[in-house]
Amino acid sequence: MLSRNYKGIELGIIFFILPISFAFPFSIWIKLSIGFIGFIYILYMLLKVEHNTFKIAPNLNWKVFWKETIIKLLIISVLTSLFVWLTNKDALFNVLINKPKLWVFIVFIYSVFSVYPQELIYRTFFFQRYESLFKSKNQLLILNAIVFSLGHIFFRNTLVLVLTFLGGLLFAFTYNKTKSTLLVSIEHAIYGSWLFTVGMGAMLGFPS
């Protein structure tokens, strides 16, 4: 019971209180310090408490993963291209066409240094640490999408919250199915890079 209560309090602090607090105006250095300490804590819990080995599973079904990811990417591509064309036509593929070097740089930095840490926190840590708290798998998946969306509340943008909630659902389903941080990170990097490519980068904090 003590462990269960501790996990519940821990979940509330890491995934609700801290993200919401970051939406308030206070020193960026304090925010970065809190974030860094929190990330170190999560890594410690994954390694020492949850006994995560960070090894790539040998039985990953790459064929099914790529098939499903490409299908979802095609749907996302059509919907987001239409959205940008209707709301801000000048932004459509603007960075890719006019600043290709910046596009390559940002996609690389984002995929390596942003996506993987996010997936360690919001999928690997969240699922391994808190899955036992839920009797319903659907509750776990929906809450995971909610906290992933809350993690972007500092943008103070309703559309960002909606997109990250939907993205969180996709990533939660992928991780729940594959139990692979690598696969869900690849998927996350592809979709996120596409949003930057199609012209929605400024909304999500990408340089443009």
pLDDT per residue as tens digits for the range 59-114 = 888 999 999 999 999 999 999 999 999 998 998 999 999 999 999 999 999 998 99
Quickly state the pLDDT bin for 131 (edges 50, 70, 90): very high
Instruction: Give the closest residue to 151 by CA, choosing from 7, 16, 12.
Output: 16
Q: Which amino acid is at 4?
A: R
Give a three-class secondary structure readout of 58-105. CCCCHHHHHHHHHHHHHHHHHHHHHHHHHHCHHHCCHHHHHCHHHHHH
pLDDT, mean over the chain: 91
C-alpha span between 75 and 108 (Å, rounded): 23
- Phi, psi dihedrals of residue 125, rounded to the nearest 5°: -65, -50
pLDDT over threshold 70, residue 207? no
Does residue 173 have a pLDDT over 70? Answer: yes
For the beta carbon of residue 42, count every other beta carbon within 10 angstroms: 20
C-alpha torsion sign, points 164, 166, 172, 177: negative
